[in-house]
Amino acid sequence: MAKSKDKAVGVDIGGTGVKAALVDVRHGELLSDRVKVPTPTGGEPDAIRDAVVELVERLDVDDDTPIGVTFPAIVRHGRTMSAANVSNAWIGLEAERLFEQALGRDIHFANDADAAGFAEDHYGAAKDASGLVIMTTLGTGIGGALIYNGVLIPNAELGHLELDGHDAESRAANSAREREELSWEVWAQRLQRYYSHLEFIFSPDLFVVGGGVSKSSELFLPLLDLQTPIVPAKLRNNAGIIGAAALARGV
C-alpha cells in the first residue's frame, strides 16, 4: 500500500472531458478508479472550476493531499496565456488562484502536454532515457513537452512551429489525417517532414509519441526514417493525471 507521502491527486482538463484520480507517485500508478465528467459546454472558467471541485470531492481524499491540475494552455506563473478548445475567457486568467480558492489548498498547475511528457519520462516510455526527450501528442492539435535529464522545460508549443508556410499541427496532427482522409502512408510523409524538422532544431535523444492514435503506432511509426529513436507512449490517457500528481508531489 502506498504511503501518504507517495500519494497525490491528478486532474487532467481537456476540451471534451475532465478526469481525475488518486495516484501513487512512487510507481506512477492509479490508486483509485478514474472519475470523469464532460467538459462543460463553452468551457467557461467557473464551470470548469466547479467540475474540478466535484471530481476532487468524489475522490474523498485527505485535506493535505497535494493536487496537480493540467490545462490545455500555455501556463506562466499560474496564468493561462492561451486557450485550446475552451473559452477565450481563460486567456490571461489567474487560473491557479481560481482553483486554489475553490479547493481551499495550494495546487500545482501545468500545461497538459508538459504533465503527460513528465509522466512518460519518469514512469513510461522514456523512463530509462537520458539527455533530451521530446514528447509529442498527436490529436486535435500537436502538444509538445521537452524533458532534459528529468527536468521539464515548460510550454514548448511544438505544434505551432511554422513548416512550409503552415502551423505544423494543421498538417500533421491526427485531426488532419482524419479530416483529409489520408492514408497512413501519406500521413507518415507529413510526420516525416515534421519530425525531421524537430530533429534538426533540437537534436533530441528520444521521441515519444502520445495521443489516442499512438495505440495504432505500428501503422505509421515504422514508416518514418529518423536518426532519433521514436517510440509510442505507454501511459496513454492516464499520462496527464499521473504527471499532474507527480508534479504536485515534487517528484
Domain-located, residue 120: no
pLDDT of residue 189: 98
Domain-located, residue 14: yes
Nearest to 248 by CA among 148, 106, 78: 106
Cell numbers that stand for 77 in this block:
506563473
Residues in the chain: 251
Distances in Å between the alpha carbon of 10 and those of 20, 35, 172, 225?
Answer: 5, 11, 29, 36
Q: Which helix or strand (DSSP H or E) is residue 121 part of? A: helix 112-123
In which domain, by residue range, is 40 found?
4-114+238-249
158 lies in the same domain as 211: yes
Amino acid at 146: L
168 lies in the same domain as 88: no
pLDDT of residue 202: 97
244 lies in the same domain as 210: no
92 lies in the same domain as 150: no
Spatial separation of the C-alpha atoms in residues 121 and 103, rounded to whole Å: 29
83 lies in the same domain as 162: no
Q: Which helix or strand (DSSP H or E) is residue 53 part of? A: helix 45-59
227 lies in the same domain as 155: yes
- 173 burial (CB, 10 Å; 0-12 / 13-18 / 19+) is buried
69 lies in the same domain as 105: yes
156 lies in the same domain as 229: yes
Cell numbers that stand for 242 in this block:
499521473
Domain-located, residue 119: no
- 180 burial (CB, 10 Å; 0-12 / 13-18 / 19+) is exposed
Domain-located, residue 193: yes
pLDDT of residue 1: 63
- Put simply, whether the predicted model's pTM sits higher than 0.85 gets the answer yes
224 lies in the same domain as 243: no
19 lies in the same domain as 58: yes
Spans of the chain, pLDDT less than 70: 1
202 lies in the same domain as 101: no
How many structural domains compose the chain? 2
8 lies in the same domain as 107: yes
Domain-located, residue 44: yes
pLDDT of residue 80: 97
Domain-located, residue 200: yes
Domain-located, residue 189: yes
pLDDT of residue 16: 84
Domain-located, residue 122: no
Can you give the CATH number for the domain in which 178 is found?
Answer: 3.30.420.40
pLDDT of residue 251: 74
Spatial separation of the C-alpha atoms in residues 161 and 53, rounded to whole Å: 35
DSSP string, 72-83: SS-EETTEE---
